Amino acid sequence: MLFENGKPSKSGTLAKKSVKKEKETPMMKQYNAIKAKHPGALLLFRVGDFYETFGEDAIKASQILEIVLTKRSNGAASAMELAGFPHHALDTYLPRLVKAGQRVAICDQLEDPKSVKGVVKRGVTELVTPGVSFNDNVLNVKKNNYLASVYFLKQTVGVSFLDVSTGEFLTAQGDQAYIDKLMQSFMPSEVIYCRVQKEQYEAAFRDDFNSFQLDDWVYTHEYGYDKLLKHFGTNSMKGYGIQNLEAGIVAAGAVLYYLEATEHKNVSHISTIGRIEEDKYVWLDKFTIRNLELLSPQHEGGVPLIQILDKCVTPMGARLLKKWVLLPLKDKRKIEERLNVVRYFKEEEDVLDTLVDSMQQVGDMERLISKVAVGRINPREMVQLKRALQHSLPVKEALAKCDVPELKTLNDRLHSCELLMDKIEKELQNNPPLNATQGGMVNEGVNEELDELRKIAFSGKDYLNQILEREIESTGISSLKIAYNKVFGYYLEVRNVHKDKVPETWIRKQTLVNAERYITEELKTYEEKILHAESQINVLEQQIFQNLVLLAADYVAQIQQNAAVIATLDCLLSFANIANEYNYAAPSINDTRNLQITEGRHPVIERNLPIGEEYIPNDVNLNDSEQQIMIITGPNMAGKSALLRQTALIVLMAQMGCFVPAKAAEVGIVDKVFTRVGASDNLSKGESTFMVEMIETASILNNLSDRSLVLMDEIGRGTSTYDGISIAWSIVEHLHNQKGSRAKTLFATHYHELNQLATDFPRIHNFNVAVKEVGGKVIFLRKLKEGGSEHSFGIHVAQLAGMPPTVVSRANEILSHLEKDKIHTKNKQKLKEVPQASQLTIFNAADPKSEQIKDALEQLDVNALTPIDALLKLNELKKMLS
């Protein structure tokens, strides 16, 4: 049974109570029984042509949908609230309920009310939840809609993602940080987890996602493994490479259970399960994804990278591109394969145009074929599927002419599915109705009986004339007439003079003064036919359509593969397009640990500069032998952050297989990118800014490798200046001296004191983003130069920001006063004297508290500490102080 937050929902309870007090009508009894089976879900109960909601569901529905709330007035359940809408408006209202976070159980009439006495049989035909939906209005074409399942197994976390609308099914397992990163990347619309793991779940993900709890028996290896074997019809999961992912299997099994529990039993389009391999992709922690604004901007009105990269013309392409952005590659060969194709398309603009033109018409082939598999495709969508296949043909033709091995491989995987395409073309009209029950969708000449029926239904007069002519000819009764009356239907009328010519088989029905009326076997049959023609037409059309759906179901695997090929092509074409449009260069990828960017630019800022302004390019060189760490100082607004981010973005774009905003870029494969940019407030989650800063930094320092790229922007600014400098200083030292991981680092700071580090450490170099001071005004040159800098020009920025002149001039006064103060210089001297890689002298031997803290620190085994332990320890030390 399903539970919401461990207990049945209020609405389920209320509905029961309010009806039980009085005598239940049979229908309400049925309603209550169904409602009780789906606690936590808002029940849409089909009554005739309406979907009705009752009790608390009605109150919720009326608020969310802005529909009228009434009270049920027919005796027994007089106190019951009621709100409903016409059944044909389901597509409009359902998405609104789901988007408002509701789980919606759709309860339909399972038999024809006309053929039943008493209460019609009803049942829930679908439970739509935010993570499990096929409804186009719930889904966003450019986004996958993932359901995630999470399972904690000691230190390992298993996760599984399913987009039921495309059939994509994935699993992974790893430590908390890895799964957290995946969750932030895949951004599931709904997460299911084991009820008894509530605490762990909430500690890990707080209330980041819509969540739902399942019973603990669902989250067992035995159950999950068996579920997967049954679904895929195999006797092991070895072929999918997930046999040993114990936690991953448990999480994936629960996904399949949940599909069943939500009445999604027909899911043959989920034909494979993939493993998200941690070591195949560049590690981006969740802070990096956020700080680099890869998929969404940090602030309203901002532009994320994806918006620049996405020129895809198909929904599949747009969805795949998001994955490419979040999962850049580490395999040089694979990256080069993508780059080769982009280079080719960039040069062969005709091919690019042909492909883009055809693919523009392909539409969402991936979701259409999923609808075929689950039997939810409508006639109009079937015609769209045909068009998708038709427009894939020129793609195939164009690819066949391309002399690039990677494109040949893609072309080999593209199926033309001609038989299916021709059959849809032959059988379905080009503009069929939306609903298969409406009729009028099948072409003429497909089915003789159907054609006959249509003749009867739509060309009745002609048909009767044909009978009349035939009868006149065979009987010789020239004045014969056909007419209709309500009493005995169609009849033949014979004037008395011709009475003797009437064949014996005719049945006399009426005698008039001058004539007699007869019916014949043929007319009777015709009459029956015409009466039933329309309903028969519908039945036959539906049969023909169903057969078409069955045929299309044989093509699920092929069309899914086509969709994957088209999506890949779309992303590569998009890369080629932007390379041309924005003047990007092909990066050169190698296995060294060097990064050499010549005239690099920020892909997003350069597209959003005010008219007339040009982005100033800069070089960045980093390696593990001479220049491992660049300390970048410079005034506020100089462009330090932009430089840091562009460096990471160029590396990531290169490893996605995309050309880069630079004159040239040599990229030695990077395996992890870490950023700590700015001190963003996280008060809503109960953490102080500085705490967040330290958590994020700790996660960087604990996960470094010699291929990592680290960006640190103003680390330490969340605390007092001296604490900040001390922390920043020791972090840089740590990055430089860490054995076995000379992570390439860009360190932007306002602490000019850190410039001292360059003299003390061989692989640390100072740079500054240049400005020019002319007549008391600062001109931003945006050019990176070697050497440190002395000023921050913060007051100048305050002036630019419109600070009252009195405040600005007072600030200048205070600054000059402080600058004269020797503390500044003395402190600098002090830092210089600090022995390298040792604790900064912050302890006073005369102070017992200080000694106590020192002892505690000395006893610590830093290598054995997790980031959380470290923070707890820090807190303990702080308490010692007070």
Ligand X SMILES: Nc1ncnc2c1ncn2[C@@H]1O[C@H](COP(=O)(O)OP(=O)(O)OP(=O)(O)O)[C@@H](O)[C@H]1O
Question: Which residues carry a binding-site annotation?
Answer: 634-641
> Which residues, 703 to 722, sit near ligand X by CB under 6 A?
none
Torsion of CA 226, 227, 232, 233, to 10 degrees: 50
The piece of 10-18, 331-339, 638-646, 760-768 that touches ligand X (CB under 6 A) is 638-646
Q: Which residues of 213-226 are buried (b: 16+ CB within 10 A; e: fewer)?
A: bbeeebbeeebbbe
Task: Tell me the one-letter amino acid at 506.
Answer: W
Rounded distance, CA 70 to CA 35, Å? 20
CA 83, 87, 92, 93 dihedral sign is positive
Minimum distance of ligand X from residue 799's CB (angstroms): 14
Minimum distance of ligand X from residue 868's CB (angstroms): 29
**CA-wise closest residue to 702 among 668, 744, 741:** 741
Nearer to ligand X, 258 or 615 (CB): 615
Minimum distance of ligand X from residue 647's CB (angstroms): 12
The piece of 130-138, 487-495, 630-638, 650-658 that touches ligand X (CB under 6 A) is 630-638
Residue 788 contacts ligand X per CB under 6 A: no
What is the distance of C-alpha 69 from the center of its chain? 35
Site string for ligand X, 550-589 (x = CB under 6 A): ----------------------------------------
Residue 640 contacts ligand X per CB under 6 A: yes
**CA-wise closest residue to 857 among 878, 828, 829:** 878
The piece of 46-54, 57-65, 503-511, 639-647 that touches ligand X (CB under 6 A) is 639-647
The piece of 386-394, 527-535, 552-560, 634-642 that touches ligand X (CB under 6 A) is 634-642
Nearer to ligand X, 51 or 615 (CB): 615
Nearer to ligand X, 89 or 800 (CB): 800
179: phi then psi, degrees, rounded to nearest 5: -70, -35
Minimum distance of ligand X from residue 787's CB (angstroms): 16
Residue 634 contacts ligand X per CB under 6 A: yes
Whether the Cβ atoms of residue 482 and residue 464 lie closer than 8 Å to each other:
yes
Whether the Cβ atoms of residue 572 and residue 469 lie closer than 8 Å to each other:
no
Minimum distance of ligand X from residue 715's CB (angstroms): 13
Residue 616 contacts ligand X per CB under 6 A: yes
Residues of each annotated binding site for ATP: 634-641
Residue 638 contacts ligand X per CB under 6 A: yes
Residue 799 contacts ligand X per CB under 6 A: no
Whether the Cβ atoms of residue 527 and residue 489 lie closer than 8 Å to each other:
yes
Whether the Cβ atoms of residue 491 and residue 517 lie closer than 8 Å to each other:
yes
Nearer to ligand X, 638 or 660 (CB): 638
Residue 675 contacts ligand X per CB under 6 A: no
The piece of 102-110, 229-237, 633-641, 728-736 that touches ligand X (CB under 6 A) is 633-641
Residue 400 has which token pair?
């066949």
Minimum distance of ligand X from residue 146's CB (angstroms): 33
Distance from first CA to last CA of the chain, Å, rounded? 52
Among 61, 228, 456, 642, binds ligand X (CB under 6 A): 642
Nearer to ligand X, 3 or 780 (CB): 780
Residue 715 has which token pair?
């680390």
- Helix (H, G, I), strand (E, B), or coil: what is residue 842? coil
Among 641, 675, 766, 768, binds ligand X (CB under 6 A): 641
Fill in the DSSP letter of residue 41. Answer: S
Count of residues interacting with ligand X (CB under 6 A): 12
Residue 778 has which token pair?
């600062």
Nearer to ligand X, 165 or 641 (CB): 641
Residue closest to ligand X when measured from CB atoms: 639
Residue 136 has which token pair?
């186009």
The piece of 19-27, 367-375, 636-644, 860-868 that touches ligand X (CB under 6 A) is 636-644
CA 19, 23, 26, 29 dihedral sign is positive
Residue 53 contacts ligand X per CB under 6 A: no
Nearer to ligand X, 311 or 782 (CB): 782
Nearer to ligand X, 300 or 858 (CB): 300
Minimum distance of ligand X from residue 792's CB (angstroms): 8
Q: How many residues does the chain have?
A: 882
> Which residues, 748 to 787, sit near ligand X by CB under 6 A?
782
Site string for ligand X, 122-141 (x = CB under 6 A): --------------------
Place of tokens 């198909």: 314
Among 252, 564, 637, 700, binds ligand X (CB under 6 A): 637
Residue 605 contacts ligand X per CB under 6 A: yes
Residue 58 contacts ligand X per CB under 6 A: no
Distances, alpha carbon 867 to alpha carbons 674, 694, 741, 755, 854, in Å = 16, 9, 19, 28, 20
Q: Which long-range contacts (CB under 8 A, 24 or more apart) does 214-221 make?
A: 214/2, 214/3, 214/254, 214/257, 214/258, 215/1, 215/3, 218/194, 218/253, 218/254, 218/257, 219/151, 219/193, 219/194, 219/250, 219/251, 219/254, 220/250, 221/246, 221/249, 221/250
Whether the Cβ atoms of residue 663 and residue 617 lie closer than 8 Å to each other:
yes
**CA-wise closest residue to 673 among 274, 330, 220:** 330
Nearer to ligand X, 30 or 641 (CB): 641
Kind and range of the H or E element at 858?
helix 848-858
Minimum distance of ligand X from residue 662's CB (angstroms): 12
Kind and range of the H or E element at 383?
helix 379-400
Minimum distance of ligand X from residue 616's CB (angstroms): 4
> Which residues, 483 to 522, sit near ligand X by CB under 6 A?
none
Residue 628 contacts ligand X per CB under 6 A: no
Nearer to ligand X, 175 or 681 (CB): 681
- Does residue 6 come out as left (phi exceeding 0), alpha (psi in the -120 to 50 range) or beta? left
Minimum distance of ligand X from residue 609's CB (angstroms): 6
Nearer to ligand X, 61 or 620 (CB): 620
Minimum distance of ligand X from residue 757's CB (angstroms): 19
Q: How many CA atoms within 13 Å lie on the side-chain side of 228?
A: 32
Residue 649 contacts ligand X per CB under 6 A: no
> Which residues, 28 to 47, sit near ligand X by CB under 6 A?
none
Residue 404 has which token pair?
């690039």
Q: State the residues that interact with ligand X by CB under 6 A.
A: 605, 615-616, 634, 636-642, 782
